[in-house]
Amino acid sequence: MSGLHVRPARPFDGGAMADLLNEIIRIGGTTAIEGPVTGDELRGWLADAAAWHVAEDAGEIVGFQWVEHRPDLPADAVSIATFARPGRQGLGIGTKLFEATRAAALAAGIRTIHAVIADYNDSGRAYYRSRGFERIAGAPEGKVVKLFRLR
């Protein structure tokens, strides 16, 4: 993956991101999103995100990550979502994405990033733990909540 680079997502990435996410949804077990998504839906989510990045390798989107404000979180906190193409995990995609997301969140004055992960999603829990997220109490049934402190 020597050609791996991360950049801000753009509306024209919607279709490729939807294809990647739909592949993950079909496999199951690592996302709470249950039904297929469209490029238009992803473009709408992109418009609402505080920061959104894609990872590309040789022009192919191999992962993406976003953070967004949610009404149940303080104003200086965001929620995170991360996706990597099946078969490409463990190759640095998540690391590079989080470096970009962390920098964007810091620049935006964000203090904490929250991850809500299904308790059966071992790879998701391991990913966020490896980034330095700490498990916190108060998770909804069947979920794990982790927190990353930026400041």
The fourth-level CATH superfamily of domain 5-149 is Gcn5-related N-acetyltransferase (GNAT) (3.40.630.30)
pTM of the model: 0.91
How far is the C-alpha of 54 from the C-alpha of 100, rounded, in Å?
10
- Is the sign of the CA dihedral 91, 93, 94, 99 positive or negative? positive
How far is the C-alpha of 14 from the C-alpha of 22, rounded, in Å?
12
* Residues 92-111: tens digit of each pLDDT: 899 999 999 999 999 999 99
The answer, yes or no, to whether residue 33 has pLDDT greater than 80, is: no
